Amino acid sequence: MEKESRCNAIFNQALRYFGSFYHLHTPEDHPAIFRDSEVYAFAMTAIGMCAHDCPKVRIITFELMSNHVHFVLGGALEDILAFFELFKRRLKKYLDSRRMAIDLSNFVGKTVRIESLASIRNQIAYTNRNQFVVNPGFTPFSYPYGAGNCYFLPVNQRRSDHRYADLTVREKRKMLHTHQLDYPGSYAIIDDYFSPASYCAIAFGESLFRDARHYFFKISREIEGYKEIADALCEKVFYTDDELNAILYKICKERYGDLKPILLPPRDKMELARKLHFDYNADNAKIARLLKLPVASVNALFPQRKNAGTKPA
């Protein structure tokens, strides 16, 4: 209770200071934007530049996907939208300089207001786990293009290949793609982009969780709340096999007296297959794998999802 009271006090104080918090996101059905490591690196640097140039906005966390972005931000709505538009202009200028014909007219920032401690915790966790749930090559602590890999990981917070002040003018122009070079010399640079630890309010974000264990529980175990967030963002929620397996066991405990999913009769398995499909957006291959059903049977049940893709990484 003492830890929870402390978290509530921190959130309420920050809410009075910033006035509001928002989850800003862009449509997940946009064509791919971040098509190689150089585009990702510039975007990471551009976000750091925008954080400096928009001091009324604080970035709590963010994550870049291949075709869309997620930000959890503190500040007034008009300042947050101005921050995003500045980022979009810089990104477009960079893409144009590389002759990458990517139409950003539908790369539009949409916002959902965050009004409680429970909500901001869920929004941070949802953002930081985004790449992890669609790409088995990453954990929430290893994906490089976002701030999630800094949360409760001091070694990443301290990481610095060198500092911005160490660069020559030519190196700065090459990195920033602008003649305006007046950015903090203390900014850490990792893999040729500004480290999120230099410009994101990581310590504040961490302070909203009771401790590191609580944060880990949120991103890896407390999964039911993400469907509500995804619905609010007009996104499809995705789960890992382990998460869906936990959901299946919970359903079986409630409905079938602790009988394991794979031991259920075919009729009950088909009922579970429908629930996984409609409520948890599981693709056919995943349903077949988890319930030990023939893929052909699941494809016959959901023919439109037979060749369906997954959320862009």
**Are residues 197 and 160 in contact, defined by beta-carbon separation less than 8 angstroms?**
no
Give the count of domains, the chain: 2
Q: What is the three-class DSSP state of 142?
A: coil
The reported pLDDT for the residue numbered 311 is 58
Provide the pLDDT confidence category of residue 292 given band limits of 50, 70 and 90. Answer: confident
Position 309 pLDDT exceeds 50: no
The confidence score (pLDDT) of residue 302 equals 87
pTM over 0.85: no
Alpha-carbon gap, residue 309 to 298, rounded angstroms: 16
Give the CA distances from residue 61 to residues 10, 89, 111, 129, 196, in Å, rounded to whole numbers and listed in that order: 17, 21, 15, 11, 9
**Same domain? 161 vs 266:** no
140 assigned to some structural domain: yes
Q: What is the mean pLDDT of residues 102-126?
A: 94
| Within-domain flag for 47 | yes
67 and 126, same domain (yes or no): yes
Least confident of 138-147, 198-207, 294-303: 294-303
pLDDT tens track for 93-105: 999 999 998 999 9
Q: Which residue would you say has higher pLDDT here, 141 or 198? A: 198
Same-domain check for residues 97 and 220: yes
- Same-domain pairing of 269 and 199: no
d(CA 296, CA 285): 10
| Residue from 131, 128, 120, 54 nearest 88 by CA | 54
Question: pLDDT tens, 222-239?
Answer: 655 566 666 656 566 667
Domain span at residue 268?
A: 241-305
Round to whole Å and give the CA distance between 224 and 56.
33
Question: 120 lies in a domain?
Answer: yes
Q: Max Cα separation, the chain? A: 70
Q: Are 99 and 216 members of one domain?
A: yes
Helix (H, G, I), strand (E, B), or coil: what is residue 259?
coil
Same domain, 268 and 131: no
Give yes or no for residue 265 having a pLDDT over 90: no
The whole-number pLDDT of residue 312 equals: 61
d(CA 56, CA 234): 27
Whether residue 152 sits in one domain with residue 29: yes
Residues 127 and 8 both lie in one domain: yes
* Residue range 255-275: mean pLDDT, rounded: 81
Rounded mean pLDDT, 281-309: 78
Taking only the tens place, the pLDDT of each residue in 32-69 is 999 999 999 999 999 999 999 999 999 999 999 999 99
CATH of the domain at 185: 3.30.70.1290
* Same-domain status, 139 and 80: yes
In the chain, the N- to C-terminal Cα span, in Å, equals 38
Residue type, 195: S
pLDDT tens by residue, 160-198: 999 999 999 999 999 999 999 999 999 999 999 999 999
Domain boundary (232, 258, 285) is at 232
Percent of residues in the chain assigned helix, strand, coil, to nearest 5: 55, 10, 35
β-strand partners of 22: 73, 113
CA 60 to chain CA mean position, Å: 12
Is residue 312 assigned to a domain? Answer: no
